[in-house]
Structure 1
Amino acid sequence: MRNRLKDIFFQLLRIGLWGKGQLVLTKPMTADDWDTIRAYAANHTVDGIIYDSFPFLEENQLPPLVLRLKWAARIDQIERRNEKMNQVIAEQFVLFSKIGLKPILLKGQGIAASYRIPSHRSCGDIDWYFDDNGYAEARKYLKENAVKFRDTAGFSLDYEWGNIDTEHHKKIFDIRSPFKLSYLRMLKDHYKQQEQMLSIGNESIRLLAPELQLLQVNGHILKHMISFGIGLRQICDSARLYHTTHTTINKEDLQNMYTKSGIIDWMHLLHKILVEYLGLPIDEIPFPYPNNLDAEWMMNEIWYSGNFGFHDERFEDGKIINAISSLPDGPKRLWKNFNRYFRFAPQEVFFFTLVHSYSRFIGKDSD
């Protein structure tokens, strides 16, 4: 994408994300320009956010009518999937609670609730964590009731429920250093009384405390950036969470969490991107980042990698080695990202491969 269109893309993203602002154009956009914008929006799964900028545009700035109609049809699909996902979440929560489990909803719809229009956030899968060794009990229930599931790397399992992908996780946080495990367990216990409740389908669904939700979401972003990359939707998630919680979170505690988890230097990079590219007000960042920090290179990685690295045009002709990854040039991409991020989160980069390999080949559950 040319620099001019990239600038327009981010203008539209900021307008849709915050519900304010004006689009500034040096010359009118063509139908081809809008096709390019739409393709990148799809690659980064921010179709709905860009669409939400349209009410703030001048009539002569809007996409051609045919494209607007196609875009509206896509938004209808997103809304329907969100509605279906909420139905499944409520159904699963009731079921799990009925059999004595204590589920907590991670990411997903808990983040969507922080958006201006939650139903326009493209949803992925449902992620559950269970208190008190509930992961094993939930797995046992699935097996006894002939629900086909797959044990996966990362100490998780997944299955399909009502055409919605669902994952169960043994661990809340995507912090892989074994030296941080006891600290992370302590955090979970310490913030238990600050857990949030989200109403979905007339059910009160448990969410993590805001500080832990931010640690969990941002740690998840880092995990994917260390591997094959991540798209703008997840970066928007972080921005919206900060926006809706900045007046209530304990900012000093959150800074200590990032520091003790070993990711504080990387968090500075992320915070600068949230402010300079996504338009998050700087006073909504919980603590200042260094003035001379260069985050442009990381923004470029986000821009090119797209949704979990699936659309990175730099590697589209690369060789696929399935033993390592189904993505082109998997080993090369991993090595480059290890080198990029080691200085900002050394323990996470070092232990990512070790823990991922262990969980893939040794740590999976088996019967």
Structure 2
Amino acid sequence: MEDNLRYIFFQLLRMGLWGKGKLALAAPLSDEDWAVLYQYALNHTVEGILFDAFPLLPDDQLPPRALRMKWAVRVDQIERHNTRMAQVAAEQFVDFSRLGAKPILLKGKGVASCYPNPLHRISGDIDWYFDEKDGYDKVLNRLQEKKIKVDLAISASLGYDWQRIHIEHHRRLFDIRSFFKLPYLKKLEQAYRPKQQSVLIENQAITLLAPELQILQVNIHILKHLLSFGIGLRQICDAAILYYTYRDKIDAEQLRNMYKKTGILKWVHVLHGILVNDLGLPKEDLPFPCPEKLKTDWMMDEIWYSGNFGFYDKRYLEGKVSFISVHPDGARRLWRGLRLYFPYAPQEVVFFPIRRATARLSSLISSRKSVDE
């Protein structure tokens, strides 16, 4: 039954993502079935996308009325939160620009504009990168002047709450762990600066990365989380919708070269297979073809079981939480992830524990300094 509901879930996800299709059912879904599907959507933070499939369903296939109302209330909450985030993003962009920091909107809020209904793409926070060399520090100084409580424990990033919205600033644009790739990535930033684009949010034009770099940044972020404790379908949908939106705007050969030079091309092939096989992205919308007879089920299973950032993985619910991570069975999960992905991104796997250890050490030092002060 679980496999059947998983199959139905992906049908609904594809319908909501692309705004077309029909739901094929061998038998009507029970109220209990719909309750499970709703929980799946929550686990992967895609309840807004599945909700967009409902207008495509005939009356006899819709969820029970009580669940539809509950789902509608949840989507209304998502819309309100996203509207508030958009207002904050627009305000901050103006403020940061006045400082000369040259802010660039990353990840969720920037990707949301590519969706048919941007308000239904859940965003946990607002992520900023600064194109000006000292932009990060300029903004940090301004936050400290305003006496905003800033969490500096995150390596190369900071976090804080502003008007009840969580904000993160990043010193590094890409989550590549291999030190050997950093000079190349810096050159990419410089080379693609003229191709930066913008999106209109709350009547404010906000800077985004060039399409190739936005795709690269999002996909590298997915790999980073897969190497640790997992990632849900929300970010996988992001990868699909970016390829679809930018299919006529990107230099496919250059993007392939980026994947190759960063050492993740083999892993990207697996991701591409999932986007086509499971999320319904047309093959022709991929920037380059996948190898034949590519096995992707193993990675799709990891994504499916882990849920949003690995917090819903039933395989480890009985595990103990340790200093390794707030996730149960942290060490075992990390080791499993490294073994799984070594054949597909070996340098990232080798450097991941090194960078993670240094980040943890930096966090401890920062915490002790805060206590001493």
Q: Same fold (TM over 0.5)?
A: yes
Give 1:144's aligned residue: 145
* Aligned-pair identity (%): 55
Cα distance, 1:152 vs structure 2: 2.9
Q: Is the 8 A contact 1:153 1:356 kept in 2?
A: no
Give 1:260's aligned residue: 261
Distance in 2 separating the partners of 1:259 and 1:220? 16
Cα distance, 1:293 vs structure 2: 1.2
Give 2:349's aligned residue: 349
Give 2:232's aligned residue: 231
Cα distance, 1:142 vs structure 2: 1.3
2:277 is the alignment partner of 1:276: yes
- Aligned residue for 1:45, secondary structure, equals coil
2:73 is the alignment partner of 1:73: yes
1:252-273 CA distance string (max 9 Å, x none): 0000000001100000000000
Give 1:361's aligned residue: 361
Distance in 2 separating the partners of 1:152 and 1:288? 41
Distance in 2 separating the partners of 1:135 and 1:357? 24
Q: Which runs of 5+ in 2 are unaligned?
A: none
Cα distance, 1:160 vs structure 2: 0.3
1:1-367 to structure 2, matched below 5 A, reads: 2-131=2-131, 132-321=133-322, 323-362=323-362
- Aligned residue for 1:224, secondary structure, equals helix
Distance in 1 separating the partners of 2:355 and 2:135? 22
- Aligned residue for 1:109, secondary structure, equals helix
Distance in 2 separating the partners of 1:316 and 1:360? 24
Q: Which runs of 5+ in 1 are unaligned?
A: none
Cα distance, 1:153 vs structure 2: 3.0
Distance in 1 separating the partners of 2:99 and 2:17? 39
1:307-342 CA distance string (max 9 Å, x none): 000010111111110x11011000000000000001
- Aligned residue for 1:303, secondary structure, equals helix
Distance in 2 separating the partners of 1:200 and 1:168? 19
1:222/1:115 CA distance change after superposition, 3 Å: same
Distance in 2 separating the partners of 1:353 and 1:138? 30
Amino acid paired to 2:219: N
Cα distance, 1:109 vs structure 2: 1.4
1:189-241 CA distance string (max 9 Å, x none): 00011001111122111000000000000000000000000000000000000
- Aligned residue for 2:200, secondary structure, equals strand
Q: Which runs of 4+ in 1 moved over 6 A?
A: 363-367
Provide the TM-score with structure 2 as the length reference: 0.96
Distance in 2 separating the partners of 1:21 and 1:43? 23
Cα distance, 1:248 vs structure 2: 1.1
- Aligned residue for 2:184, secondary structure, equals helix
Distance in 2 separating the partners of 1:108 and 1:295? 25
Amino acid paired to 2:207: R
Distance in 2 separating the partners of 1:143 and 1:266? 41
Provide the TM-score with structure 1 as the length reference: 0.98
Distance in 1 separating the partners of 2:67 and 2:310? 26
Q: Is the 8 A contact 2:99 2:138 kept in 1?
A: no
